[in-house]
Structure 1
């Protein structure tokens, strides 16, 4: 197979297609960006979709359609690994309408029961992966549980966190931040309230809010700005908006604390990305956070939508002396490397592919 960004791809060498149809960056897109390069070190896999970085092995639509009716070399069928409803629907069309030699796999991260239409699509899959025990409990069929991992080479601690923070050009000696699309579900309002209470006691700290803001969520964003202005903290709570994908790892490792206050989360990679970067976390017990964060060792867990508890957990981290916080940071990094590396996740998913290839037609 050719390197990412190369010329035409012969689909005969592609054993797995990982569609990624969404144009905007999201947790699912982040999963494809991280996983496909790790998987490609062992199998023939390509992503198919728009606006993916050159680091991801990809195939164009033209190359896909030219070879889609032919089996991959040495395999009875090609695997279509979907992560969204539209990708499942497209895969069903390829297999059942166009009669292409494909088998369908779906990864479910939902922490709730799927709607009727989605349940129908999932029932048509040849195999299903659930990203957590909670996600598996909402499925009406058997699944393989494979927890998400992160690229611990990309997300790593800064050699000098203080220097990394200074490089941002932001004030103070320490940074604390929240990541994710700016909306009520993600709980940035809880973070802002905590900062309004805590920052006056910590003059060396600056808070950042990083994430996409859409017109639909403009009233929520405006509310955050009004609260910050009312507290007179416009220079210390900074709403930075969406950042380039390639810079996200830099933001994680320059912070001293990462906060994950989400009221609801399908899975949530932010705790892993932060801990892999050597950054302790204060996280609500939403999504997979209870399975990812070791409470009191790699950060703190608090009840969902509990502002006072979140503020208290953040205060513990901000009040720590640096040596204690650094020890927690080291424990966080070690925990992710040992339990949640992207290589471990890729190997387990590739094993599911092998089972699908061995299955009877």
Structure 2
């Protein structure tokens, strides 16, 4: 726990289950603190290593921190906006409210009302911004480019995660479910691998209870084609950065995505990326400039198979895309850049 008198920014997390929002909080707070931002988390579902305050500490919000007129409450969900509005407007606590929106759909009247009461609003992408009816600042997510970085030795990186170092590897990472397009990746590999004996494919990620049958059907499909030793379901891993380093091609096959960090993580790892045109992906990827576009139509097996075949069969093209992707991430998508841009919004209120 941390003394609330030393806290200027509160990052509430009112959801126990791990989600993309929770992951954002977990990754950002240490970076924000390293940059001198006096921020602490509030709520369940977060690692004990993060600086926390307790709910009973909120009684001190009538008194601002030394040298400040207000504290900032940085909400990311409806359930986190409402109590802040009550504390600020009804209880007259010294609080300013910042809300980050990741939604890419029309908001309900209730959500619109909540957002209208914010002191500042951040949108995680241009697409998200387009659904907001209030002034907002677009701040794209960044990633830890120290954790996600290219390997010194690609063969050693493959061996380190137990994969055949003599093979080239295509990967698809994330939750295993229809929305994530895992079936499109599997069907693409079923189509392409028989003619490419030097390639294998891996699916890294977990299927929750609701999606186990979907995963099992995919495994059955792979077994029926005789490719069980070349299309591997490797499960969920905390050291996913090590698995990225083993890849020669990453495919993000999502049918829908709120934001999606996997293309950035792959590019930061020096891996060429093919992604569908969903979520923030069009804002994250950039055309290589001298090669085919790596952005493909969503929910199209033909587009995915065509793009994957092109890059699997052309090593110079993969190297060009990987090099440009890595430079792109280092220039625009490092997590400390995101933290600094958020700090500017805090200062504005």
**TM-superposition CA deviations, 1:37-91 (whole Å, max 9, x none):** 2222231112233343466x42142674464443122111111111122222332
Structure 1 unaligned runs (5+)? 1-7, 357-361
Contact kept? 1:156, 1:277, Cα under 8 Å: yes
TM-score, scaled relative to structure 1 = 0.89
Look up the SS of the partner of 1:176 in the other structure: strand
Q: 1:348 aligns with which of 335, 341, 348?
A: 341
State the match for 1:5 in structure 2: none
State the match for 2:313 in structure 1: 319
Alignment of 1:76-115 (within 5 A): 76-115=69-108
Contact kept? 1:164, 1:254, Cα under 8 Å: yes
State the match for 1:310 in structure 2: 304
Whole-angstrom CA distance in 1 between matches of 2:320 and 2:37: 38
Whole-angstrom CA distance in 2 between matches of 1:317 and 1:54: 43
Whole-angstrom CA distance in 1 between matches of 2:41 and 2:169: 35
Q: How far did 1:98 drift?
A: 4.5
Contact kept? 1:10, 1:67, Cα under 8 Å: no
Alignment of 1:146-161 (within 5 A): 146-161=139-154
State the match for 2:9 in structure 1: 16
Q: 1:280 aligns with which of 272, 278, 290?
A: 272
Q: How well do the aligned residues superpose, as a CA RMSD in angstroms?
A: 2.1
Q: How far did 1:240 drift?
A: 2.5
Whole-angstrom CA distance in 1 between matches of 2:259 and 2:337: 17
Q: How far did 1:206 drift?
A: 2.4
Whole-angstrom CA distance in 2 between matches of 1:319 and 1:26: 36
**TM-superposition CA deviations, 1:206-253 (whole Å, max 9, x none):** 222222322222332222122212212222222233222xx1222222
Whole-angstrom CA distance in 2 between matches of 1:68 and 1:224: 52
Q: How far did 1:160 drift?
A: 1.1
Whole-angstrom CA distance in 2 between matches of 1:122 and 1:62: 23
Which segment drifts farther, 101-110 or 234-243? 234-243
Whole-angstrom CA distance in 1 between matches of 2:325 and 2:40: 32
Structure 2 unaligned runs (5+)? none
TM-score, scaled relative to structure 2 = 0.91
**TM-superposition CA deviations, 1:297-321 (whole Å, max 9, x none):** 5971001111111111111221122
Q: How far did 1:117 drift?
A: 2.6
State the match for 2:157 in structure 1: 164
Alignment of 1:282-297 (within 5 A): 282-296=274-288
Q: Rate the CA distance shift 1:66–1:291 in 2: closer, same or farther, 3 A.
A: same
Whole-angstrom CA distance in 2 between matches of 1:85 and 1:280: 37
Aligned length: 345
